[in-house]
Copies of this chain bind each other. A is one copy, B any other.
Amino acid sequence: MNNLTLKVIGRVESRLTDLDSAPRQADEGAPEAWLVFEPDVLEALRNIRTGDEVVLITWLDRAQRDVLSVYPRGDTSRAQEGVFSTRSPHRPNPIGLHRVEITAIEGRRLRVRQLEALNGTPIIDLKPVLNEDIGQR
């Protein structure tokens, strides 16, 4: 068994629609966005509160999966690096990690501050932040 199937449990709603103009990280001018979950996972959201900081996990569906090396931050004056040393969306499994703050809740819609994911990006998981750090907003 060498392939696994992810369920799309929601989608990002954002005014970001264009890969080229999207910020690379949330603290580089990303707008607020809505996380719109499927009705069948509403129960899993029931203890989420406004003000919570959470780890959003997405599937960066516009990424290239056959890329193993990239120029860091697209800078061709630098040496290429293996993608596992970078946060490039281009990688064998284009998983996005985003630390976000919940700023409003309307049923199965959560508003978040500063998200660099594009409109329509699939949501695959949501977790609380723990004491230890993992990196990336």
A64 interface residue (CB < 8 Å to B): no
Residues on B with beta carbons closer than 8 Å to the beta carbon of A86:
127-128
Q: Which residues from chain B contact A82 at a C-beta distance below 8 Å?
A: 43-48
Q: How often does this chain occur in the complex, in copies?
A: 2
* B residues in contact with A27, CB < 8 Å: 132
Query: Closest CB of chain B to A62's CB: distance in Å?
Result: 13
Q: Which residues of B contact A55 (CB under 8 A)?
A: 97, 134-135
Would you list 24 pairs from A and B whose C-beta atoms are within 8 A, ordered by A residue? A4-B6, A4-B59, A7-B92, A25-B130, A41-B68, A41-B84, A43-B82, A44-B91, A45-B82, A46-B69, A46-B82, A48-B82, A54-B84, A55-B97, A84-B127, A87-B128, A91-B125, A92-B125, A95-B125, A127-B135, A127-B136, A130-B135, A133-B135, A134-B136
